[in-house]
Amino acid sequence: MNFPPTILSGMRPTGPLHLGHLLGALKNWAGLQDSYRCFYMVADWHAFFSEYEDPGMIREYTRQSVADWLSVGLDPEKSTIFVQSAVPEHAGLHLILSALTPLPWLERCPTYKEQLREVTGRDLLTYGFLGYPVLQAADIMLYRATAVPVGNDQVPHLELSREIVRRFNGLFRPVFPEPRPLLTESSRILGLDNRKMSKSYGNFIALSDPPAEIEKKVRGMITDTQRIRLSDPGHPEDCNVFSYHRLFNPGQLAEVEDCCRHARLGCTDCKKCLAGALADYLAPIREKRESWLKGDRVGEVLEAGTARARAAAAETISLVREAIKF
């Protein structure tokens, strides 16, 4: 079977988007728009699986996420941008796939075990959360996606999706392509505290942070820990501030490096300089974001995207119902 090159990817609306999302996913998503049919989805049901006790913020984060996507270059003329729960076929296919997904496949999923271990303060020992990857498979399969851009951490989920595809195609008929992972060549960015940048660690710079907030956050960053006095030569290769300069201030990189090594630049000034560069880098994004949030432009994008997504999803569901003889 020949399937048209199609991308589906999604993000959970659980908080403001930050530099990690930008470099780890969004730039990549934007770059795929010219060579694939692209479906980009706000995975609000997936957010509900972990936030079900207090889901009130999901709706607002959904709107904010879409504004962020649009402001970094996702183009609603090229890509179908939509919200998972607005396309009821996701829940429908999830139900069908849940009939044929063996329980042990889900129980041995490493991300599931890891989340149960690491997430504290809420009860994730639920039937729904165990089935998280089944819903993800449904997302991908509904658009008969041939490729899925994912970060390293999502690879086990995608492998499960491929297994579910093979199982469906083998039991019935080859309705679905096996989606292949497009691994994001991410210029990994660490959080302000040198751990992975993540909402739950509170160590991020949001795409929507105003300059004063950026400056405050950068001021608190960890630098080269061997450098104690201004007169000590610094080691930029061991300094996270420097790796941010590399990403966001390439024009002054050589100068910063040289001055740091020769103790001609203090960390406080170095951070001020970075905060300025970051604010400049994010300024056009913030501006676009504001303009997308004016009126109900986000709502209009979503309405058009949902209509397109629903049409594609309905077509797949009718193939599925034929295949399972319903």
Name which of 158 and 265 has its Cβ closer to ligand TRP. 158
CB of 11 to ligand TRP, least distance (A): 5
Count Cβ atoms below 10 Å from residue 321 Cβ, excluding itself: 12
Q: Does 146 bind ligand SF4 (CB under 6 A)?
A: no
Select from 44, 51, 68, 139 the one that contacts ligand TRP (CB under 6 A). 139
Select from 7, 32, 192, 260 the one that contacts ligand SF4 (CB under 6 A). 260
Number of residues near ligand TRP (by CB under 6 A): 13
Q: Choose among ligand SF4, ligand TRP, none what residue 139 binds, the Cβ cut-off being 5 to 8 Å by kind.
A: ligand TRP
Return the range that interacts with ligand SF4 (CB under 6 A); candidates 154-162, 260-268, 280-288, 309-317: 260-268
Q: Does 277 bind ligand TRP (CB under 6 A)?
A: no
Distance set, CA 87 to CA 143, 265, 317 (Å): 12, 55, 12
Return the bridge partners of 8, or none.
39
CB of 124 to ligand TRP, least distance (A): 13
Q: Decide: helix, strand or coil at residue 18.
A: strand
> CA torsion angle for 225, 231, 236, 241 (degrees, to 10)?
70
Contact 182, 260 (CB under 8 A): no
- The radius of gyration of the chain's CA atoms, rounded to the nearest angstrom, is 22
Amino acid identity, residue 103?
A: L
Q: Does 140 bind ligand TRP (CB under 6 A)?
A: yes
Pairing of β 79-83 and β 147-150: unpaired
Report the Cα 51 to chain-centroid distance in Å.
17
Burial, 27: exposed, middle or buried (Cβ in 10 Å; 0-12, 13-18, 19+)? middle
Q: Could you say which residues in the range 190-249 bind ligand SF4, by CB under 6 A? A: 223-224, 227, 234, 236, 239, 241-242
Query: Which residue ranges make up the site for ligand TRP (CB under 6 A)?
Result: 8-12, 43, 46, 136, 139-140, 148, 150, 154
